[in-house]
Structure 1
Amino acid sequence: MTPYLSRATQVLQRINELAAISEDADGVTRTFGTPAFVAGRDLVQSWMNDAGLTTRIDSIGNLRGRWPSTQPGAKTFVIASHIDTVVNAGKFDGPLGVLLGLDVLENLVRQPAALPFHVELIAFSDEEGVRFHTTYLGSKVLAGSFDTSWLSRTDAAGIPLAQAIAEAGGNPAQLAADALPAEEWLGYFEAHIEQGPVLWESGQPVALVTAIAGQQRVELAWRGMAGHAGTVPMTMRQDALAAAAEFVLTVEQFGREHHETIVATVGKLQVTHAASNVIPGEVTCSLDLRSADAARLAAAYEALRETAAAIAERRTIGLTWNLVQHTAPVTCDAGLNQHLHQAITGAGHEVVALVSGAGHDAVPISAVAPATMLFVRCYKGISHNPLENAEVADIAAAIAVSERFLFSL
């Protein structure tokens, strides 16, 4: 077995050990601040300590392991991803980047040469936003862009975010102190499974991420009039579900017509007081728009908002349109991408350039530091699903590329 395959096997073993820590017995679920999340973070911290890193838990609950440089005025290079998950998740989304980074640092600290910069390995506490519907909590603290108004948000059990932070060992009053000032950054690197099928179909183990798509997320509430399914004539109904259904199909058609630059999804649909013999009077649904082109994303948003308004007016339905998230597209740093390009070719692989349709912690970090990402091939592109998988050979290739990349800096 080659050294990289042996190292990849250890990374995979650690991924499996971490995946065994979950809020439920049947899958992998570790949402922000829960006992399962804390237990998983403790396990990763023990591995960081064993590697010789100086570790700490910061005020938002991020796990931070540092290997310092002795050079005066040295800047900090951050390797990171997240260890929280969606509900019923796969094993690799997030943890792969953290544990791959740990492997690279374990081998780096054995090198006799002095580091010209500090290296910090970070396991972010909340990227998915499942519990409080606030993505990138961990990385926004590091970037200095955390909005303190979020502290009053509550989860499904009514627990405020501030309380959850404290219960997980953090300190909501000290969040600002944990930001890494822009002048201290050298750069940011994140390895992540692709979460799409391009690498799986091509057979290439890794890809260079050139950009991360921007996102617009909307919550729509359609309000008609509930009525008896057997007595209200078809021509006199104000059916909120029929209006929402028309919008859903319109969104799909819009996405198909603009598939080269936009993806559009309605992923949530809820009928209030649903019953088989009641005309739906109130329905809520979501809209998720993504594009790497800011102008096209904005145009799609306006076009679909006008479409929704027209459907509501024609059907005499009330409509509330609420923008719940707006993230601008991010272009990865050209200088770091040149280093990563050379590392991929130097490791003997073809350079596949991809735009990420999924959001990542690199998004908030890019506002304060040069950032780049490496995608790793995953089984059929499946993610946010227990079937999520990455093969040992592809993990080995990612380790080799990541190590070349870091040494090139």
Structure 2
Amino acid sequence: MLQSHQSELHDRLDTGVTELSTFRDHERPGWSREVFSEAYRASREWTANRMRAAGLEVHLDAAGNIVGRLAGLDPSAPALVTGSHTDTVDGGGRFDGVVGVLGAIEAARLLAAGGRQLRRDLLVVDFLGEESNVFGLSCLGSRAAAQELTPADLDRCDYRGVSLGRAYTDFGLDPAKLSDVPWARRPLQAFVELHIEQGPTLEQRGLPLGIVTAITGIERFIASFAGSADHAGTTSMEDRRDAMIAAAEGVLAVRAEGCGAPTHGVATTTRVDSESRSPNVVPSLVRMYGEVRSVDPGWLSGVQGRLGAEITARAAKLGVDVGFEWSSDNAVVEASRGVQDVAGAAADTLGLPWMPIPSGATHDAVHMASLAPMGMIFIPSKNGKSHCPEEWSSTEDIAVGAQALVATLQRLDGGDTRPQH
């Protein structure tokens, strides 16, 4: 790439991150731009205009995804798709998802300016609401595009009692038409998502790129500990059935489960709530919330039995009963071997060192994998920080990621057959 083009790419990416970060909830910490919020609503016209300025034809699909199209020579050929999301978690940072959208827009701009029209249409997508939200459901836009958003999902309610379906309506989208996404029904050649790593591995190894091998599966649970409500001043320690102590043992069991994973695996207790608010009552009902993640489907499939048995046994020694509610956020999804190979070859051609790497976070790519061969390209995250105001990726690293994305899309465009899954 010519030096002048590199400088322009750097400047556009730097300006894009800065301008998009101004759309945030100023009453919340960090760069908060949660789905359905006013800050998110305001940011979407900026994103659409950014796509138009790059030469893309832009429309909003029925699922709320912003889609920019760079026309190819053969409209009947299976299209290429790239993109990510621009919403954030509460108190989040400026780069998670944003890098994948701005990088995809700039990749399309570079391809359009390159003098050789792609054979296939290129679709750049800013997916609606990738981050987990008050309704407890992530990847809303990609989930709907893949027809994996259910009527039961739309009945989910937030802390105010407002349903997800009502939130869609208030945001100007028709809940009855969310799966009416024509671009996702047409044949697709491949989906490639550029993203920050959200972990420390690339930075620690001094590598500019990671090519994702698999995206973690996620199992979530609520453990309810039932003991006995007794006076905290008059009940001896040995006579107590303390639900809080049982929950504390449960927290330690969750940590031990994650530490014992044979490959990539983590386990986290995210919240512990006591039903009692009195300072002088032994807790009798405590709920513990947690999740387990791994790219090893065999290990993850056994976690309910292993962890449930361990927590139950520890609670029983304390005279406390425990019940579980389990839910699966998503199964382990392997990236397409064909797309991995193409992305690796593209990086090699550019002289960029890389490593294969699993993703411990979920992404829109999980749901796009049901529609097309899927791949992801990671760039480094400073200190591995993400989902916090300290989240940071340098403009230089983002530009390298965008160049790798361009080279990958060019190689995928030239293939006569879809990459292998």
- Shorter-chain TM-score above 0.5: yes
Partner amino acid for 2:5? P
Distance 1:254 1:158 in 2: 35
Is the contact made by 2:208 and 2:354 (CA closer than 8 Å) also made in structure 1?
Answer: no
Is the contact made by 1:344 and 1:350 (CA closer than 8 Å) also made in structure 2?
Answer: yes
Distance 2:383 2:289 in 1: 26
Partner amino acid for 2:190? G
Structure 2 residue aligned with 1:141: 144
Selected match of 1:166 from 162, 165, 169: 169
Distance 1:383 1:2 in 2: 32
1:274-293 matched pairs, under 5 angstroms: 274-293=277-296
Distance 2:220 2:7 in 1: 40
Structure 2 residue aligned with 1:55: 58
2:15 paired with 1:13: yes
Give CA deviations for 1:89-142 in whole Å, capped at 9, x if unaligned.
010001110000001111222233332111111111111121211111110111
Distance 1:51 1:35 in 2: 25
What is the CA-CA distance between 1:260 and the residue it aligns to?
2.9
Partner amino acid for 2:287? T
Distance 2:184 2:44 in 1: 25
2:371 paired with 1:368: yes
Is the contact made by 1:141 and 1:179 (CA closer than 8 Å) also made in structure 2?
Answer: no
Distance 1:333 1:219 in 2: 33
Structure 2 gaps, min length 5: 413-421
Selected match of 1:352 from 334, 337, 355: 355
Structure 1 gaps, min length 5: none
Structure 1 residue aligned with 2:238: 235
Partner amino acid for 1:338? D
Selected match of 2:43 from 31, 34, 40: 40
Is the contact made by 1:8 and 1:399 (CA closer than 8 Å) also made in structure 2?
Answer: no
Cα 1:266–1:205, aligned 2, differ >3 Å: closer, same or farther? same
Distance 2:373 2:355 in 1: 20
Cα 1:251–1:72, aligned 2, differ >3 Å: closer, same or farther? closer
Structure 2 residue aligned with 1:335: 338
Selected match of 1:89 from 87, 92, 111: 92
Identity within the alignment, %:
31
1:171-210 matched pairs, under 5 angstroms: 171-178=174-181, 180-181=183-184, 184-210=187-213
Q: May I ask how many residue pairs the two structures share in their alignment?
A: 409
Cα 1:380–1:341, aligned 2, differ >3 Å: closer, same or farther? same
Selected match of 2:104 from 88, 97, 101: 101
**Scaled by the length of structure 1, what TM-score is found?**
0.95
**Runs of 4+ deviating beyond 4 Å:** 179-183
**Scaled by the length of structure 2, what TM-score is found?**
0.93
Selected match of 1:269 from 254, 272, 279: 272
What is the CA-CA distance between 1:393 and the residue it aligns to?
1.7
Is the contact made by 2:75 and 2:120 (CA closer than 8 Å) also made in structure 1?
Answer: no
Give CA deviations for 1:164-210 in whole Å, capped at 9, x if unaligned.
11222211111121164565111101011001101111111111111
Distance 1:164 1:290 in 2: 29
What is the CA-CA distance between 1:335 and the residue it aligns to?
1.2
SS in structure 1 of the partner of residue 178 of structure 2: helix
Distance 1:365 1:163 in 2: 25
| C-alpha RMSD over aligned residues | 1.7
Partner amino acid for 1:45? A
Structure 2 residue aligned with 1:250: 253
